[in-house]
Chains A and B, each alone.
Chain A
Amino acid sequence: MISAIIFSALFIAGSAFFIVNARKIRRNILLGKSISIRDNRSERFKTMLLVAFGQKKMFSRPIPALLHLFIYAAFVITQIELLEIVFDGVSGHHRAFRESLGGFYTFMVSFIEILSVLAFVATIAFLTRRNILKLARLNKPELNGFPRFDANLILAMEFLLVCFIFMMNGADEVLYSRGESHAMNLGDGSLGFSVSKHLGPMIYGCMPTPGLHIIERIGWWGHIAMVFAFLNYLPFSKHLHILLAFPNTYFSNLKAKGSFKNLFEVTDVVKPNFDPEYQPKLDPNAPVKFGAKDVTDLTWKQLLDAYSCTECGRCTSSCPQNITGKKLSPRKIMMDTRDRLEEVGKNIDKNKGTFVDDGKSLLGDYITAEEIWACNTCNACVQECPVNIDPLAIIMDLRQQLVLEQSSAPAELNGMFSNLENNGAPWQFSPADRGNWIHEN
C-alpha cells in the first residue's frame, strides 16, 4: 500500500516535471520565425519512417549504426514492459499481466531481455569508443565540459538500467522457483524468460530468500526510477533527439540540397526595377531584417533542428573545412544555436515572459565570423546528418546578416562583389569580352 502511494506520487511528479520542461522547449522553438511546412504529407511521413524510425542514414556507418540500433530497440521495446510496471506500481500487483497473457508474456519479456543484453554490449562499446579509443569525432573541442558529461551520463544510466532489469528478473526467477515470488504461482517452476532463467540461478542461486526479495525490489524500483530520471533528464540533454528526431525528419527539407531559399525581402526591393507592375510579396510596413543575428531570427524549423541534434559529429567529421583544421564545425553551429536559445528561454522565464536584452547574440558571442566564412556550402554536413538537420541553412543566414546588415564580408569577397556588380563576372573582365573565347585559338 505504501509503496503504491510512493509510486503514484513519483509517477505524477515525474510526468508533471517533464511536461513543464517539454512545454518550455516548445515555447523556445516557437520563438523562431514562422514558416509554413504543410506540403507533401505522405512524402514527409515516409521520410520520418525511414530516417527517424528506420534510422536509414545511420547505416552509412554500419557498426555504430547496429550498436545504436540495439540501444534504440531496447529502449522502444522496454516501454511496453513499462505498462505493466506502472500498473503493478499503482495497483500493488506483481507481474499482473503474466497470467492473462501467458506465452505471449514470456515471449515479450524474453525479447526485452535479449535486447537488453545487446544494449548492454553496445553501451560498453560506446563508452569504450568515446573514452578509451577516443574516436576523433567524439573528442572535438566543442564537446568539452557538459556535452561529454552528458553523453557519458546517459550511457551510464543505460548501463544501470540493464543491471536493474536483470536484478529484478534474475532474483524473481530464483524466488519463483522456490515458490517465494510475489508473482502468481502457475505451478511451472520457472518464469521462463530467455536470459534470466539462466542468469538468475547462476548469480543469485545460492542467496537466501529475504536477500533476494530485497534485490528484486531494488531492481524494480531502480528500473522505474531510471526511466523517470531519463525522461526528466531528456529536456536538458542531447538525448532529446529520441523524441524530436520524429518531428524533425517529418519537417525536413524535401527540395534539392543545392536549392537555397530566395529572400522575398530582397525580391520586393529588386524586382520592381525589372518589372514596374510587381506587387510586393511581403507586408511593406513590417520591419525588414536580412539574415539572422540571433536565434529569434531563425525559423522554428531551424530551432527544432538545434534541439534535435544528437551531437554525433557526423557532420563535422565530413566537413572539408573541419577536416583540414579550420575552426568551422557544423556540430558546433547546432550546439551553439541550442545553447543560445536556452539562454534566451531562461531570460524569458526570469523576466516573467518577456525577453530583456542581454546584449548578446548568436552571431558574435557564440559563432564567430571566422567560422561562418570558412564554409564551402558543400552540403556534406546536411547529407551526413542522421536526423536531417541543416547546419548550412543557419550558416547562410548568418552570412547574409554579415553582408547585408553589417557590411562586413572579407575584403576579397567585397572585391568579388564589386566585380560582379560592374562586370557581371566575379573577376575584372569587361562584359563585352565575354564572347571572345569563340574567336580565340
Chain B
Amino acid sequence: MSDTLKVPTMAEMMANGETPEILFWVGCSGSFDDRAKKITKAIVRILNHVGIKFAVLGAEESCTGDPAKRAGNEFLFQMQAFQNISILNGYQVKKIVTGCPHCFNTLKNEYPELGGQYEVVHHTQLVQELINQGKLKVQGGEFKGKKIVYHDPCYLGRANDVYEAPREVIQKLDVALTEMKRSRANGLCCGAGGAQMFKEAEKGAKEVNVERAGEALEENPDVIAVGCPFCNTMMTDGVKHFNKEDKTKVLDVAELIATANDL
C-alpha cells in the first residue's frame, strides 16, 4: 500500500498551469466523516494507481445542497448550487467523479438546468470503465471466494438506473456475489435518504436500517458492499444492532478494490 496519497487541489493545478482530466467531488461525508474518509482515500488510491490526472476542490468544495433540497429547502439548495456552479464553471470542469450517489444525482440531474453542465459519473462507474479499458487490473486478494452481498443505494439505482457497474466491479474480485430478496429496482432504502440521516425517525415499529441490515444478514455474507457513505453508516449500525460486526463487514466497492489489490 502506498503511504502517501497524491491529492492535488484544483487551485494548485491551475497555479501550475495544468488541467485535470477529471474532478473528484469528495462530498461532505467523504470530507468530514471519519468512516467515509477511508472510502475517499480508497478512491484516491485507485486514481493514483492508474495515474489519472485528477484534482479535488478542497476547501472550495461545498455541499451540493442535496439534503436541503430533499428536506424541502429549495432556497438553501439553490444557494449551494449556484455557488458550486460558479466555482466549477470558473475552473471549466468537464468531467466529475463523485464518491457519493447523492452528490452524483444532484450534479448530474439538477445542476444542468441551473447552468452547471458536466459529465458526471459515480466512482463505481469510473472503476468499471478503468477495468474495461485495461487501465486497472484487479484480483480478488483477501476477498477471493468470499460471500458478498451488494446493497443498491437509492440514488444510484432507482434514481439513476445504475445497477450493473458496481456488480460488475465486485464480480471481478472472484467472489460469490449474492442478491438480497429486494435488490436492484426493488432494493430497499437504507433509511438515510430524504434527509432522514439528520433527524430522528418518526414513530413506528422498527428502524429502516435494521430492516435492511437484517435482510442483508439473512444471506450470511462476509461483506455487505455499498456504494454510498450514508448507506455505509446505516448498514454498519444495522449490523451492530444484530451483533454481527465480527462476521460481516460493511465496505464500499472502492475499498474492496483498493484493499484486494493492495493499492
Contacts and interface: CB of A to CB of B under 8 A. Distances in A.
A376 B58 contact: no
Indicate the member of B62, B189, B202 with the most A CB atoms within 10 Å.
Answer: B202
A327 interface: yes
Given A324-B206, A324-B207, A380 B199 contact: no
B83 A259 contact: no
Contacts of B200: 410, 412
Nearest to B102: A258
Interface residues of B, number: 73
Interface in A393-435: 396, 399-404, 409-410, 412-413, 415-417, 420-421, 424-427, 429, 431-435
A274 B82 contact: yes
B59 A431 contact: yes
Contacts, number: 223
Contacts of B40: 437
Given A256-B161, A376-B154, A383-B158, A434 B189 contact: no
Contacts of A437: 26, 30-32, 37, 40-41
A238 to B, nearest CB: 24
A256 B204 contact: no
Given A373-B199, A416-B67, A429-B32, A320 B208 contact: yes
A378 B198 contact: no
Given A270-B79, A291-B72, A380 B202 contact: no
Given A320-B191, A320-B211, A440-B37, A413 B71 contact: yes
A262 B78 contact: yes
Nearest to A384: B186
Contacts of B82: 270-271, 273-275
A417 B63 contact: no
Contacts of B185: 383
Contacts of A258: 105, 109, 155, 158-160
B199 A412 contact: yes
Given A320-B191, A383-B185, A425-B63, A403 B71 contact: yes
A377 interface: yes
B214 to A, nearest CB: 11
A325 interface: yes
A255 B32 contact: no
B25 to A, nearest CB: 12
A420 B58 contact: no
Q: How large is the interface on A (under 10, 10 to 19, 20 to 34, 35 or more residues)?
A: 35 or more
Interface string B125-165: 00000000000000000000000000000110011110000
Nearest to A263: B74
B202 A256 contact: no
B91 interface: no
Contact of B71 (A266, A327, A417, A431): A417
B76 A421 contact: yes
Nearest to A382: B158
Contacts of A403: 71-73
A323 interface: yes
Given A270-B79, A404-B73, A420-B67, A325 B205 contact: yes
A262 B72 contact: no
A8 interface: no
B5 interface: yes
A372 to B, nearest CB: 9
Given A420-B68, A424-B80, A374 B158 contact: no
Given A412-B200, A437-B31, A266 B194 contact: no
Interface string B175-210: 000000010011111011111111111111111101
A402 B189 contact: no
A420 B63 contact: yes
Contacts of A399: 71-72
B70 interface: yes
Contact of A424 (B63, B186, B188, B195): B63
Interface in A327-343: 327-328
A232 interface: no
24 contacts: A259-B109, A260-B70, A266-B78, A274-B83, A275-B82, A324-B201, A324-B205, A324-B210, A328-B202, A370-B202, A374-B204, A379-B159, A380-B186, A401-B72, A409-B71, A413-B199, A415-B198, A420-B65, A420-B68, A427-B28, A431-B62, A434-B32, A435-B56, A436-B31
Given A273-B82, A380-B189, A403-B73, 12 more contacts: A255-B109, A260-B69, A262-B114, A290-B74, A320-B188, A409-B72, A416-B195, A424-B62, A425-B31, A426-B28, A427-B28, A427-B32
